[in-house]
Structure 1
């Protein structure tokens, strides 16, 4: 019953914001187009002056927090949405009324097995912030440490489950009714969203991500990551060091304390590339609300990051291909870019390299008409991925996260320092990383790391060699049997086919009697009748 009511609400919101206009110019099946035309509210409710993007944003906000978060996630998928829709969806506000402080206390006490008064010297029942999945309270430990306590909303898992199931149903429906629906892989998009949002429900995962990045940047002058209090952290409760800094989007306050904005912007780029290439573990939700700047040293500013619910990771192969792609792109070596996409397995191995290279050139060349400082790495990646999709590139979730994060970092960097030249900042880092990865020292390091495994497996080499040879012999024997069986099958097919062939030849022979100018079927000579009958019999029998 609740699911039916939810569907009715979606239908009402769909009509209210005239979302049917999104489908007017799409290649829909005829019965879907007819159904749209028969919806009477089309002729009652005006579209108004709002743009398509604004109407979609307002509809998602009215449908509630789960749809809002889905819209926020969609805003990062520039490979699926046009820019005007993506930019409008970025404005979605995840503002949810807080649940009561008493309820938060009960959740904390149940999770940690003790009274709040025993756990904290002070605890504020009034939340500092409230979002769709959790809300945050400030507290003080008996040690004197200031902390924040993050508490998952009660019952939110059931609400999310129902709404995600509904999103899956809508995605399947769109793929069936819209010819282009399958190409967009909407079901895969919803599946990615499902994984992300259910990961956010387990605060231990967020805490583990935070601890990992804190360890990676221990004593770093450019990034500070708060400490997790593991003894006070559970699946639905997280206790973390409280930080005090300036929100990175508050440019006026940063300027007021004479922050070196150029250095701050460049360090943001350095943090991103360090996480991606050195650590292969990056904060994938680096929007301005999750980033602060320390007040301690404005001339050499330090970032502070929070909220590690979403992280990304790249394999060593993806790291290498990505770095080489960037370097090849800025050298305008489009053949190399195309080959790297094929070698990495991002596009099928049978892709036409020349056609792919031409498509990449058509996307990339206009970019180089701009000064280097105006070239967007994120938009370059997006252009490459959109082009590759036309060549059947599979969606790479880790690359989508990377593209989203890079766009956030670029937008943030240029907001802080409009003349930021990402290439000048990134090129030395990428070239140094490639040298360290592929130079003699890196080869020697790999040999040293793998030597113990080789020594351990060396006594097994004779047996492994013998087994490999036996497998090759077995494969040869199986291949011979397959060839023999194939030959026998072909012979059998030939034996079954020859009567038909003979019958066709007999009919052709009978047809020769019709070459007489005045010949008709009634005057067909006896031999012709005989050939016709025998030929038909052989064809039917065969």
Structure 2
């Protein structure tokens, strides 16, 4: 325990001094850790922007903090754009681990020496990152595979950093101004969960298998196979697919590939993931995508995936459609449904901001609207008003922004907004299919049944508190009289419309009946020769005049 505490203090000292050296000493002071700072700390980076200094500091602090920066780069609802742009440039590239260490991990995880599993194993890695590195190998059956191996002892280093980050988040929550605005503890928990999932390579393998199922109907997409018999939490073995990376446009052109078709296939694949299935690849940069003969697209690297619930998909569509249709109320309502709202939110100011954003898109043709940029603009509004949006929605914005940038290089005329049309219509229609309506009815029925079961107990508890004098009723009066006056006017208009409708139906019925002979105008026998038509008209007229006078007097009748 003492050794662990010493390790934590030393690491915390390293973090504090690194941040101070890059000009963030004021934050260390706010946290109360100024005693950890060295007496002399160089501040030669202060000429750089805050975003640049933060990026360099995180790179220096190692893999956990690089991953933290990449995680925060998907959150424009909690960081300003200039810092987001810098964090997006974080490079997760480090020096490779020695081959002997890699062989030791393979022996430990797969239970035997690599020579008994692989026919060949290239000691020179294809890529080396902070958590693991990738090697090319061959199986006894001749299949070429890539083997991703986690670095030795990296999980211990990350675990220490995560414990320190959780501690810092709790301190920042209590002792900083920003802690009153943002839930640092929840952000730290979300990051910790995401990073621990990235450490487990079996999860990445399951992501690949699930994405293959999601895109089973897309003939122009290929997902590499996972070799589960050679996969553990620290080793991932996948099929090696040799295609042309999408960052090599010159080679694609040289081989005669149709770039416009590739762009459309790619957008269709992502809309299938996002709008139909709600499970999508969260890192579509050109290095993670390749093209096979026949213009088939290969997805690679399944460590970062996004997941959208049906409700989040619905609100995301409502958000974007409200913006492009210039309907501010739809945008605001979707943001409120999606995000965590601060108690002091200024709704009028939020409406004005959304109106200004809407005006920006007013004169832009639909096909020219950048979908990813539109979502990022909305996330920036959320940042200014301290509305915390779901992590999945922030990742969606970054994914669409990357996708749009990529496909625009392939086809400058492509429009993500226009291509979304059929998928949005399908999603809307699916919500009103009989089976879906029945499912919603069934779910709501059980919810209301639970409510009916719990309501008597809740009412009893409220009455007991009221009887003891413990129940406090809080009312906030804001132009209440004006509200009720508008409400009364609306009710009166509705009542008047119903009266006119009823009066018209009654009169039409009497006149039609008389015209058909059901009610004789003269000389017939009906109710002892009473003048039914005249009496009905008279009664209806009196009731109509009475109700009309009551409404004009104030609506109390």
Tell me if both proteins adopt one fold, taking TM over 0.5 as the criterion.
yes
- Of residues 123-132 and 196-205 in structure 1, the stretch that sits farther from structure 2 once superposed is 123-132
Secondary structure at the counterpart of residue 393 of structure 1: coil
Q: 2:376 touches 2:398 (CA, 8 Å); kept in 1?
A: no
| Residue in structure 2 matching 1:400, options 394, 398, 407 | 394
- Equivalent in the alignment of 2:231: 233
Residue matched to 1:102: 100
C-alpha contact (below 8 Å) 1:283/1:308 kept by paired residues: yes
Verify the 8 A CA contact 1:341 1:347 in the aligned structure 2.
Answer: no
Mapping 1:110-129, distance limit 5 Å: 110-129=108-127
> Structure 1 76/12 Cα, relative in aligned 2: closer, same or farther at 3 Å?
same
The answer on 1:17 being equivalent to 2:22 is yes
Please point out which of 365, 373, 377 is paired with 1:379: 373
Match of 2:134, SS state, is: strand
Superimposed CA distance per residue, residues 294-321 of structure 1 (whole angstroms, 9 cap, x where no aligned partner): 2x02xxx222111112222112111122
Aligned 1:96-495 pairs, distance under 5 A = 96-218=94-216, 220-294=218-292, 296-297=293-294, 301-343=295-337, 347=341, 356-389=350-383, 393-438=387-432, 442-444=433-435, 447=438, 481-486=464-469
Distance change >3 Å, CA 360–CA 39, structure 1 → 2:
farther
Deviations 1:102-158 (A, max 9, x none): 222222222222332222222223322111111111111112211111111111111
The 3 A distance-change label for structure 1 pair 379 and 171 is farther
Q: What does the per-residue CA deviation read over 1:40-77, in whole Å, with 9 as the maximum and x for residues that have no partner?
A: 758x7455653333333222222222222222222222
Deviation at 1:391, TM superposition (A): 5.2
Match of residue 483 from structure 2: none
Distance 1:23 1:377 in 2: 36
- Distance change >3 Å, CA 6–CA 481, structure 1 → 2: closer
- The count of aligned residue pairs is 465
Q: Is the 8 A contact 2:77 2:389 kept in 1?
A: no
Q: CA deviation at 1:476?
A: 5.7
Of 1, 8, 12, 1:3 maps to 8
Q: For residues 315-374 of structure 1, give each alpha carbon's deviation from its aligned partner in whole angstroms, at most 9, with x where no partner exists.
A: 211112222222222111111222333455754899776654333212232244545455
Distance, in Å, in 2 between the alignment partners of 1:235 and 1:218 is 26
Higher relative contact order (Cα pairs below 8 Å, separated by 6+ residues): 2
| Matched-pair contact (CA < 8 Å) for 1:65–1:96 | no
Query: For the structure 1 residues 103 and 180, does the alpha-carbon distance in structure 2 shift closer, same or farther, using more than 3 Å as the test?
Result: closer
Q: Give the CA deviation at 1:199.
A: 0.5
Unaligned runs of 5+ in 1: 491-542
**In structure 2, distance between residues paired with 1:15 and 1:487:** 51
More divergent stretch after superposition (52-61 vs 228-237): 52-61
Deviation per CA, 1:445-481: give whole Å up to 9, x if none.
Answer: 654x799x89xxx9xx9xx98x987866666655555
How far apart are residue 23 of structure 1 and its match? 6.8
Name the SS for the 1:234 alignment partner.
Answer: coil
Q: Distance in 2 between matches of 1:489 and 1:398?
A: 38
1:415 Cα deviation after fit: 3.0
- Counterpart residue number, 1:523: none
What are the within-5 Å matches in structure 2 for residues 503-518 of structure 1? none
Secondary structure of the residue that 1:139 maps to in structure 2?
strand
Tell me the alpha carbon deviations over residues 205-235 of structure 1, each in whole angstroms, 9 at most, x when there is no partner. Answer: 1111110111222262232110111122111
Deviation at 1:184, TM superposition (A): 3.8
CA distance in 2, matches of 1:481, 1:320: 41
- Which residue is equivalent to 2:541? none
More divergent stretch after superposition (469-478 vs 415-424): 469-478
SS for the counterpart of 2:181 is helix
> What is the aligned partner in structure 1 of residue 62 from structure 2?
64
Are the structure 2 counterparts of residues 39 and 367 from structure 1 closer, same or farther at C-alpha, using a change threshold of 3 Å?
farther
Q: Label 1:388 to 1:60 Cα distance change in 2 as closer, same or farther (>3 A).
A: closer
**Superposition RMSD in Å:** 3.7
CA distance in 1, matches of 2:46, 2:350: 43
Answer whether contact 1:327 1:427 (CA < 8 A) is retained: no
Describe the SS at the equivalent of 1:148: strand
- 1:415-444 CA-to-partner distances (Å, cap 9, x unmatched) read 333333221122232123212332xxx224
Cα distance, 1:489–1:128 mapped onto 2, change above 3 Å = closer
- Name 2:490's counterpart in structure 1: none
Over 3 Å counting, the alpha-carbon distance change for 1:181 and 1:368 in structure 2 is farther
| 1: CA distance, partners of 2:69 / 2:189 | 14
SS across alignment from 1:227: coil
Shift in Å, 1:2: 3.5
Change (3 A) 1:483 1:192: closer
| Whole-Å separation in 2 of the counterparts to 1:274 and 1:486 | 57
Closer, same or farther: CA 382–185 of 1 in aligned 2, 3 Å: farther
CA deviation profile, 1:479-521 (whole Å, cap 9, x unmatched): 555544449999xxxxxxxxxxxxxxxxxxxxxxxxxxxxxxx
Counterpart position of 1:78: 76
The alignment's TM-score, normalised by the length of structure 2, stands at 0.73
- CA separation in 2, counterparts of 1:176 and 1:303? 49
Tell me the secondary structure at the aligned position of residue 257 of structure 2.
coil
Change (3 A) 1:41 1:47: farther
